[in-house]
A and B are shown apart, each in its own frame.
Chain A
Amino acid sequence: MNAGFIGLGIMGRAMSARLIDGGHELYVHSHKPAPKELTDKGARDCRSGREVASQAEVIITMVPDTPDVEEVLFGENGVASGLSPGKIFVDMSSISPIATKDFARRINRLGCEYLDAPVSGGDVGAREGTLTIMVGGGEKAFARVKPLFELMGKNVTLVGANGDGQTAKVANQIIVALTIEAVGEALLFASKAGADPAKVRQALMGGFASSRILEWHGERMIKRNFEPGGRIALHQKDLNNALTGARALNLSLPNTATCQELFNACAAHGGSAWDHSAMVRALEDLANYEIGSRERRQSTA
């Protein structure tokens, strides 16, 4: 298939490589020249989104935020100006569900299909082709693009109509942030009460409180390993989509709001680029106490 890929950051680059390795002809564009690793594999570097759209049947974007998608689509020499009826535009960025519905309508008017297909799983998932992909759009368009999704991810679900993929991603990010915060409160409580947080995590792992977040991020909090991973700045963007959405929908999300404030406090302390599990640092500031495992202290002593 002639496919297009716009946005070649850490995520987009790894996803593009998997499409080329899967045997597809890839037309790429980014605000920088295409990485050599992709052109070496045969990717064609295009000068604009418009050029990509005129060459490819399916055009994928993977860019940071809502305004970036709007620019790629409807900006000067954007994708929309290169589209012709029957083509499919697939936005794999994580952006506003409300804006997505508007973008989809405008693309449909050009006789083209739109899929929102945000992912979770980070750069590791992108490299290994194990991303979770949450899709909104028509069943027919989904079926046509599914073979491409399957080269990039493992859990691929058509959630519903346009916007519903982005809504699922927002829901995902709400749960991830709030569970990080839950694990943070629990381990900090245990630690300040004098228990060994590593032992507490271990005791809880088999039970009803267990989750991949207790496993991975609980360990990060105990070992003080806050190298990203998923950066706080990106999770702030996701929670902003949740809270802006909540305001527009007349909906109260009390703990999402608190978690965003805790992320903001991290950012105030230079933590925009910390891993999102470092949200616990804002709780630690409030408690004037840092999670410390006795085992860890003994081993470093």
Chain B
Amino acid sequence: MKIAFIGLGIMGRPMAGHLLDGGHELYLHDLKPVPQNLVEKGGQACRSNKEAAAQGEVIITMVPDTPDVEAAIFGPDGVAQGLAPGKTVVDMSSISPIATKDFARRINQLGCEYLDAPVSGGEVGAKQATLTIMVGGSEKTFARIKPLFELMGKNITLVGANGDGQTAKVANQIIVALTIEAVGEALLFASKAGADPAMVRKALMGGFASSRILEVHGERMINRTFDPGFRIELHQKDLNLALSGARALKMSLPNTATCQELFNACAAHGGAGWDHSAMVRALEDLANHEITSKERQKGAA
């Protein structure tokens, strides 16, 4: 299949690589020059999004934020100018569900299909082709694109109509942020109360409080490894989608709001590039106490 792939950053590059490895013909564009390894695999660098869209039957975008998707599709020399009826635009970026519905309508007016298909799983998931992909759009279009999704990810769900994929991604990021915060409060409480947070984490792992976040991020908090991983500034963008969505939908998300404020506090201390598990540092600042493990200190001594 002829595929245009727009946005070749940390995520887009390995995803495009998997599509090439899967035998597809790729037309590539990015604000920066197209990475050499993709050209070596047979990817064709295009001069604009318009040119890529003119070549591909399916146009995939993987860019940072809502305005970037809007610029890539509807900006000068954008995707929309290269579209012809029957083509499909697949936005795999994580952006606003509300803007997505508008973009989809405008693409539909050109006689084309639209899927929103944001992912979770990060750089590792993109490299290993194990991304979770949450899709919004019609069943027919989903069925056509599914073989491409299967080259990039593992848990692939058609959630509903356009925008619902982005909504699911926002829901995902709400749960991840709030569970990080929950693990942070719990381990900080245990540590300041004099218990060994490593032992507490271990005791809780089998029970109802267990989760991958307690496992992975609980360990990061105890071992103090805050190299990303998933950067705080990206999670701030996602929670901003949640909170501006909540405002537009007239609903209250009290703990999402608090978590965003804690991320903001991290950023104020130079932490925009820390792993999101470092949200615990804002709680530690409030508590004037840092999580410490006796077991870990014994190991280091």
- What is the interface of chain A, defined by CB distance below 8 A to chain B? 97, 120-121, 132, 134, 136, 154-155, 157-161, 163-164, 167-168, 170-179, 181-183, 185-190, 192-196, 199-200, 202-214, 242, 245-246, 249-256, 258-259, 262, 283, 286-289
Contact B172 A163 (CB under 8 A): no
Contact B175 A167 (CB under 8 A): no
A142 and B200 alpha carbons, distance in the complex (Å): 16
Contact of B258 among A210, A214, A258 (CB under 8 A): A258
- What is the interface of chain B, defined by CB distance below 8 A to chain A? 97, 120-121, 132, 134, 136, 154-155, 157-161, 163-164, 167-168, 170-179, 181-183, 185-190, 192-196, 199-200, 202-214, 242, 245-246, 249-256, 258-259, 262, 283, 286-289
Sample of 27 A–B contacts (CB below 8 Å): A134-B200, A160-B195, A164-B193, A167-B200, A168-B200, A168-B203, A168-B204, A171-B204, A174-B182, A179-B175, A189-B249, A189-B251, A190-B167, A195-B136, A196-B159, A199-B159, A199-B164, A204-B172, A205-B155, A208-B212, A208-B213, A212-B208, A212-B211, A251-B289, A254-B283, A258-B255, A262-B254
Contact B209 A120 (CB under 8 A): yes
Q: Closest residue of chain A to B176, judged by CB?
A: A209
Knowing A159-B195, A211-B179, the reply to whether A195 touches B207 (Cβ < 8 A) is no
Contact of B159 among A174, A177, A195, A212 (CB under 8 A): A195
Contact B206 A174 (CB under 8 A): no
Knowing A204-B171, A206-B154, A289-B251, the reply to whether A250 touches B207 (Cβ < 8 A) is no
Contact A252 B172 (CB under 8 A): no
Q: Closest residue of chain A to B261, judged by CB?
A: A254
A253 and B157 alpha carbons, distance in the complex (Å): 36
A213 and B199 alpha carbons, distance in the complex (Å): 22
Q: Which residues of B are found within 8 Å of A120, using beta-carbon distances?
A: 207-209
Contact B157 A199 (CB under 8 A): yes
Contact of A256 among B183, B185, B206, B250 (CB under 8 A): B185
Q: Which residues of B are found within 8 Å of A159, using beta-carbon distances?
A: 195-196, 199-200, 203
A213 and B198 alpha carbons, distance in the complex (Å): 22
Q: Closest residue of chain B to A119, judged by CB?
A: B207
A155 and B208 alpha carbons, distance in the complex (Å): 11
Q: Which residues of B are found within 8 Å of A170, using beta-carbon distances?
A: 186, 189-190, 193
Q: Is the interface of A mostly helix, strand, loop or mixed?
A: helix
Q: Closest residue of chain B to A178, judged by CB?
A: B182
- Give the tally of cross-chain contacts (CB within 8 A): 276
Q: Which residues of A are found within 8 Å of B173, using beta-carbon distances?
A: 209
Contact of B167 among A134, A183, A193, A251 (CB under 8 A): A193
Contact B211 A204 (CB under 8 A): no
Q: Which residues of A are found within 8 Å of B211, using beta-carbon distances?
A: 179, 210-213
A251 to chain B, nearest CB (A): 4
Contact A178 B168 (CB under 8 A): no
Q: Which residues of A are found within 8 Å of B210, using beta-carbon distances?
A: 211-212
A43 to chain B, nearest CB (A): 28
Q: Which 8 pairs of residues, A with B, have the shortest CB-CB distance?
A: A178-B182, A182-B178, A155-B206, A206-B155, A211-B211, A287-B251, A203-B157, A132-B207
Residue with the greatest number of chain B CB neighbours at <10 A, chosen from A183, A208, A210: A208
Contact A192 B251 (CB under 8 A): yes
Q: Closest residue of chain B to A155, judged by CB?
A: B206
Q: Closest residue of chain B to A97, judged by CB?
A: B193
Contact A250 B288 (CB under 8 A): yes
Knowing A185-B256, A196-B164, the reply to whether A242 touches B189 (Cβ < 8 A) is yes
A188 and B185 alpha carbons, distance in the complex (Å): 23
A255 and B35 alpha carbons, distance in the complex (Å): 44
A160 and B200 alpha carbons, distance in the complex (Å): 9
A167 and B204 alpha carbons, distance in the complex (Å): 11
Contact A189 B171 (CB under 8 A): yes
Contact A181 B178 (CB under 8 A): yes
Q: Closest residue of chain A to B242, judged by CB?
A: A189
Q: Which residues of B are found within 8 Å of A188, using beta-carbon distances?
A: 251
Q: Closest residue of chain B to A199, judged by CB?
A: B159
Knowing A182-B255, A194-B167, A211-B179, the reply to whether A252 touches B242 (Cβ < 8 A) is no
A188 and B57 alpha carbons, distance in the complex (Å): 36
Contact A251 B189 (CB under 8 A): yes
A97 to chain B, nearest CB (A): 6
A142 to chain B, nearest CB (A): 13
